[in-house]
Amino acid sequence: MSDLRRISKITLRIACQCLWLAALVVGLSGMYLLVNFRQTGLLFHNIYLILPAIVALISAAVLLASGGIGCWMSIRDSTVLQAAVHSEFEPFWGMFQNYTGNKQDFNSNAVDAIQEEFQCCGVHNYSDWFGTPWFNRTGKIQVPHSCCNITFDTCNGTLDRPGLLYPQGCQAKLEGGWMFVLYFIIISSAVVAVIQVVGLVTAAQLMRDQPLQEYRILDRDSVN
């Protein structure tokens, strides 16, 4: 396991613990609001007064679920997770098999756009093109021009100079982007959870009972 992957898993676990802690605080706050409204008799007078409590409980459930998903991702065996992700990208191979090179073909345009956008070639590497019908029809001498590294102006897709092609396949690039989005969602949820806890603490401070000011009745002579 690389150092970057190890750090990412540790960071994800810490974020999940923060999510669970935030879910506990937010959930207890919602329960406190419900109990407080029930004891004061306000629960049945105005339904809108319990909306903050309901929102707090829903938020707690979402945070709890997000933390659980994140912990599952960090604890789950990496080979199983990689296999699950790999199975989701199996139809991706069919796009390369149906490649025609025709600019009017939607599938071909999609393949070229993916290879140019993610700077990749083939599913795993450029050799994946060797088993495609398009490669056989073109004389088995080149791959699509979208496989060319943009830093080399002389690249035309021919196999006599493979160093001018993108070395990495598109599936690895797409899987890496997908995993990055998942990590980003979990960590962002942790940040939102912290903000929610700070907001609840601030709101609780503002809602604390303030001492009532003393009033006295003034007679008419003192007013005059």
**Cα atoms found within 13 Å of the Cα of residue 38, Cβ hemisphere only:** 7
Q: CA–CA distance from 202 to each of 94, 146, 205, 208, 222 (Å)?
A: 55, 55, 5, 10, 42
Sign of CA dihedral 62, 63, 68, 70: positive
Task: Determine the Cα–Cα distance for residues 199 and 177; give it in Å rounded to an integer.
Answer: 32
**pTM of the predicted protein model:** 0.51
Fold of 86-168: Cd81 Antigen, Extracellular Domain; Chain: A (1.10.1450)
Terminal Cα-to-Cα distance of the chain (whole angstroms)? 87
For helices 106-118 and 170-206, give the axis angle rounded to 10 degrees.
70
pLDDT at 1: 45
pLDDT at 191: 72
Residue 152 CA, chain-centre distance (Å), reads 34
pLDDT at 5: 58
The pLDDT averaged over each successive group of 10 residues in the chain (224 residues) is: 58 69 73 66 54 72 72 58 54 81 87 90 90 88 91 88 89 77 69 68 57 53 52
Q: Any alpha helices (H) in the chain, and if so which ranges?
A: 3-40, 51-75, 78-88, 91-97, 106-118, 133-137, 170-206, 220-223
Task: Determine the Cα–Cα distance for residues 124 and 118; give it in Å rounded to an integer.
Answer: 13
Per DSSP, 151 falls in state T
Residues in the chain: 224
Encoded amino acid at 62, one letter:
V
Answer for the pair 33, 50: CB distance below 8 angstroms, yes or no: yes
> Ramachandran region of residue 83, left (φ > 0), alpha (ψ -120 to 50) or beta?
alpha
